[in-house]
Chains A and B, each alone.
Chain A
Amino acid sequence: MSKKKDKAWFVLFTVPLLFVFTTVVIIPFIIGIVYSFVSWDGIPANPKVFVGFDNYVKLIHDDRFLASSWHTIKFTVLSLIAVNLFGLLLSLLVTSKLRVSNTARTLFFMPNLIGGLILGYIWQFIFTDAFKLIGQKTGLENIFFNWLLDPQFALYAMVIVFTWQMAGYTMIIYIAGLQGIPDDMIEAAKVDGANMWHRLTKIIFPLLMPSFTICLFLTLSGAFKMFDVNLSLTKGGPNNATEMFAMNIFNEIFGYGHYGLGQAKAIVFFLIVAILTLTQVAITKRKEVQM
């Protein structure tokens, strides 16, 4: 009797979710795979021609696509480090016995509440106008110039904006992790004479591993898929030097009207993100310890 009831509950809660997941994720995904084998310009009235693996062969020879993947890798590595470093530092800061720690938490988290598009436009102003002004006033024109016009620095600019947005979010996760560590354990370590560094590396970090898993996963996949900041801050410019994966796919589809090729890129993109994040989760999971 109760088993039957359990099953009913199970069905009640999973079927709606399954339905939504199927209609908005699974089905479009399968359609997407089909599109990656045709040549089509995106106008419904025009013919879709089956071309087999042509699109996949084409994308290997697409210099702009390869360049954009290199930008994406650079961006991801840099922002992975920056976001988690700052997130961790901030969380350690606001869990210490500061008087303003609650206010600080709110303030650090706030950038995450602003959409990436708006963030991009705000920072565009900072990098373009404010930086130039600072450079002129202080004479430090080697550091403070219009970053968005330099291919190298435009990428760093994106890392800064992304970090500013995401550090607060990872901070929250790290705070939760830190608060899950029992005080008596830290106290015992203190009594045993462990200094701050030892407490951090031998007790706090190992126990924080689950948070690391989550944060690394979020930033890794987030940085790889980043589009909004890319669009509003640099639009992929100057001269396509900051065009990321997602934006390259968007431009291929909507700029050039190559739906099939763009879709093939998207499938490759999906595979790369999936493999990378799964590997990362597998590795960091292994490092997690039980209390």
Chain B
Amino acid sequence: MIKVKKGIGLLTVTALIAAMVGCGSSNDGNSSPSASSGSGSSPSASNSSPAAPEKQKKITIFQSKVEIAESLEALTKKYTEETGNEVEVWGSAGDAYGTQLQAKLTANQGPNIFSVGTGSEAEKLKSYLYDLSNEPYVSNIAPNVALKLDGKVVGVPYGVEGFGLVYNKKLVDPKNVTDLASFTATLEKLKADGKNGLSLSQEAYFLIGHIINMPFALQPDPKVFIEKLNKGEVKLADTKEFQEFAKFMDAIKANSGNPMEVKYDSQMGDFATGKTAMVHQGNWSYGMLKDYGDLGFDVGMMPFPLAGNTKLSIGVASNWVINGKSDADEIKASSAFLNWLLTSDAGKNAIVNEFKFIPAMTNIEADSLDPLSKDVFEATKSGQTVSWAFNDFPPGIIVNDLAPATQEFFLKKDMTGQQFLQKLDAVWAKATK
């Protein structure tokens, strides 16, 4: 009996030691090759392929756009084939991108390349943004769209983007959607025909973030207006454009389906199958429509007709930035990848034809744009644009505060647009306290 016990004890100890040794050795195994490749002086690496370009360190990318996730991954594979350098793309996260990025950065496990929005989001992460001013590809960025902080270029725009009312040309004539009265009449007529006139969807930006841009952008100076709003010097409920906006929201609430039951997928799906006549979306949504093949109708984008507005909201949603807290080799590799993305044929092709971006680079031609992007591109050229005022909102306010308030508006049957404005004022005051 005692022998058996001893035996078990011995066995346990051996197992424990084996486990420890096992872990230790596997760690060694992992670390040694990366260390040697990082130093770049490993003789075996340089001997085996003397003609190949310099081997870069493996880098990671984390970015916010769900739409381009697949194409980006395919593109990085191509990059690895062409240059032999490895790039890992982390899954995109949509609404949760900001929180996840911050968690990763704080834990010192940040990606080497990531994306940030223009405005307050970039300001918040300032300490991480690597100065790109001296990189060659920066000179190709179209005028006024580079992401600049303190006079330094820190980000390369994904592309220009615009949003407005995406409509089904068979069901809606833009001439009938020019102001509140005609907009409401169109919604009512579509409702009588058994169609959903206008669909928003439950994601924070598609529910309120984008559509509320218009009354802000129509202010004489949106940035100053937002600053005043933050200080509590102005109220949305007392501002003319917002009062009109509230009437639009009333019309949407009264005449179209509840956006809380709609997700981005179903929003675009219903639009593609002709159940919905209009959606408040941007040119990026064409990627979803493409999956439905031949729609049987033409699509276009028209301005959200707030106060007779005739302009599309156009701006830069996201910028590629390099994490300045990565080590020097990783920064070099990251910059090499961006350079390849922005100057090689494969990269340029992917930006226009795979990501479906309207390029913000002067060295990229855009001749095969989809219908929605074409409308945005036309508007940009003719100057029929307003800015993205929400880039200057306090960080996170759309997801944290405006979206819940809007949920309440759409779920409470008796809440009016004016009450909605007061609610927005209340949450805004709380968020900037």
- For window 214-245 of chain A, which residues contact chain B by CB distance below 8 Å? 237-240
* CB contacts between A and B, total, < 8 Å: 55
Closest CB in chain A relative to B404 CB, distance in Å: 5
27 contacts between A and B (CB under 8 A): A12-B13, A41-B124, A42-B102, A43-B106, A43-B125, A43-B127, A44-B106, A44-B127, A149-B258, A151-B411, A237-B404, A237-B407, A238-B408, A238-B411, A239-B404, A239-B408, A254-B98, A254-B99, A254-B102, A254-B103, A255-B99, A255-B396, A255-B399, A255-B400, A256-B396, A256-B400, A257-B124
Produce 1/0 per residue, A254-290, CB < 8 A to B.
Answer: 1111000000000000000000000000000000000
Most A CB atoms within 10 A — which of B98, B395, B407?
B407
A65 to B: closest C-beta gap in Å: 12
Q: A46-B127, A239-B407 are in contact. List 17 more A-B contacts (CB 8 A).
A: A41-B124, A43-B124, A43-B127, A149-B258, A149-B260, A149-B411, A238-B260, A238-B404, A238-B408, A255-B99, A255-B396, A255-B399, A256-B396, A256-B431, A257-B102, A257-B395, A257-B396
Is A239 within 8 A of B411, CB to CB? yes
**B261 at the A interface (CB under 8 A):** yes
Does A76 interact with chain B (Cβ within 8 Å)?
Answer: no
Asked whether B261 lies within 8 Å of A128 as measured between CB atoms, the reply is yes
Q: Determine if A146 is an interface residue (Cβ-Cβ < 8 Å).
A: yes
Q: 0/1 per residue, A124-140, Cβ < 8 Å to B?
A: 00001000000000000
Q: Does A251 contact B (CB under 8 A)?
A: yes
CB of B142 within 8 A of chain A? no
The reply to whether the CB of A45 lies closer than 8 angstroms to some CB of chain B is: yes
For window 109-155 of A, CB contacts with B under 8 Å fall at: 128, 146, 149-151
Q: Mark B121-156, 1 if CB is under 8 A from A, else 0.
A: 000110110000000000000000000000000000
Residues of B within 8 A of A150 (CB): 411
Asked if A251 contacts B411 (CB within 8 A), the reply is no
Query: Distance (Å) between the CB of B423 and the closest chain A CB?
Result: 10
Q: Is B180 in the interface zone, CB < 8 Å from A?
A: no
Chain B residues contacting A237 (CB-CB under 8 Å) are 404, 407
User: Given A238-B411, A239-B404, A240-B404, are A45 and B399 neighbors across the interface (CB < 8 Å)?
Assistant: no
Residue of A nearest to B423 (CB): A239
Complex CA distance for A128 and B13, rounded to whole angstroms: 54
Tell me the bound Cα distance from A46 to B106 in angstroms.
11
- CB-CB under 8 A from B103, the residues of chain A are 254
- Closest chain A residue, CB of each to CB of B13: A12
How many residues of B are counted as interface, with CB atoms below 8 angstroms from the partner's CB atoms? Answer: 26
Which residues of chain B are near A151, meaning CB under 8 Å? 411
Chain A interface (Cβ within 8 Å of chain B)?
Answer: 9, 12, 41-46, 128, 146, 149-151, 237-240, 251, 254-257
Complex-state Cα separation, A9 to B396, whole angstroms: 54
Q: CA separation between A291 and B125, bound complex, in Å?
A: 64
Query: Which B residues are closer than 8 A to A by beta carbons?
Result: 9, 13, 16, 98-99, 102-103, 105-106, 124-125, 127-128, 258, 260-261, 395-396, 399-400, 404-405, 407-408, 411, 431
Chain A residue numbers with a CB within 8 Å of B13 are 12
Q: Quick check: A42 and B106 within 8 Å, CB to CB? A: yes
Instruction: Give the nearest-CB partner of A236 in chain B.
Output: B404
- B408–A149 CB distance below 8 A: no
Residues of A within 8 A of B408 (CB): 238-239
Contacts of A42 in B (CB 8 A): 102, 106
The residue of chain B having its C-beta at the shortest distance from the C-beta of A41 within the complex is B124
Q: Most chain-B CB neighbours within 10 Å: which of A42, A128, A239, A240?
A: A239
Contacts of A12 in B (CB 8 A): 13, 16
Alpha-carbon distance A43/B108, docked complex (angstroms): 11
The residues of A that contact B127 with a CB separation of less than 8 Å are 43-46
What's the nearest-Cβ distance from chain B to residue A49, in Å?
Answer: 17
What residues of chain B lie closer than 8 Å to A239, measured between beta carbons? 404-405, 407-408, 411
Q: Which residues on B sit within 8 Å (CB–CB) of A254?
A: 98-99, 102-103
Chain A residues, Cβ within 8 Å of B99: 254-255
- Cβ of B150 to closest chain A Cβ, rounded Å: 14
Residues of the A chain whose Cβ atoms lie less than 8 Å from the Cβ of B411: 149-151, 238-239
Q: How far is the CA of A44 from the CA of B325 in the complex (A)?
A: 11
* A157 vs chain B, min Cβ distance (A): 14
* CB neighbours of B405 from chain A (8 A): 239
CA of A238 to CA of B408 in the docked complex: distance in angstroms?
7
User: Which residues of chain A are near B106, meaning CB under 8 Å?
Assistant: 42-44
- Among A44, A238, A257, point to the contact of B407 (Cβ < 8 A): A238
What are the residues of chain A within 8 A of B105 when measuring CB–CB? 43-44
Note all chain B residues with C-beta closer than 8 A to A128: 261
**Across the interface, which residues of B come within 8 angstroms of A240, CB to CB?**
404
In angstroms, Cα B13 to Cα A42, docked, is: 43
The closest CB in chain A to the CB of B107 belongs to A44
Give the CA-CA distance A45 to B261 in the complex, in Å. Answer: 41
Residues of B within 8 A of A45 (CB): 127-128
- Shortest CB-to-CB span from A224 to chain B, Å, is 22
Distance A254 CA – B95 CA, assembled complex (angstroms): 12
How far is the CB of B164 from the nearest CB of chain A, in Å? 27
Q: In the complex, A9→B99 CA distance in Å? A: 45
Please give, as numbers and ranges, the residues of chain A lying within 8 Å of B16 by CB-CB distance.
12
Bound Cα distance A251, B400 (Å): 8
A150 to B405, CA, bound (A): 15
How far apart sit A254 and B106, CA to CA, in the bound complex (Å)?
Answer: 11
**Closest beta carbon of chain A to B412's beta carbon, Å:** 9
Task: Tell me the smallest distance from the CB of A109 to a CB of chain B, in Å.
Answer: 29
In the complex, what residues of B have CB within 8 A of residue A238's CB? 260, 404, 407-408, 411
Residues of chain B lying within 8 A (CB to CB) of residue A257: 102, 124, 395-396
Q: Least Cβ distance of B267 to chain A in Å?
A: 14
A106 CB to nearest B CB, Å: 31
Q: Complex formed: what's the CA distance from A164 to B396 in Å?
A: 34
Q: Which 9 A-B pairs rank lowest in CB-CB distance, beginning with the nearest? A: A45-B127, A254-B99, A239-B408, A255-B400, A239-B407, A238-B407, A239-B404, A240-B404, A149-B260
Q: Which residues of A contact B395 (CB under 8 A)?
A: 257
Give Cα distance in the complex from A256 to B102, angstroms: 11
> CB-nearest residue of chain B relative to A240?
B404
Q: How far is the CA of A132 from the CA of B102 in the complex (A)?
A: 38
Contacts of B407 in A (CB 8 A): 237-239
**B406 (CB) vs chain A CBs: closest residue:** A239
Q: Give chain B residues whose Cβ lies under 8 Å from the Cβ of A251.
A: 400
* Chain B residues within an 8 Å CB radius of A9: 9
> How many angstroms between the C-alpha atoms of A268 and B404 in the bound complex?
25
A253 CA / B405 CA spacing, docked (Å) = 20
Name the distance in Å between B403's Cβ and chain A's nearest Cβ: 8
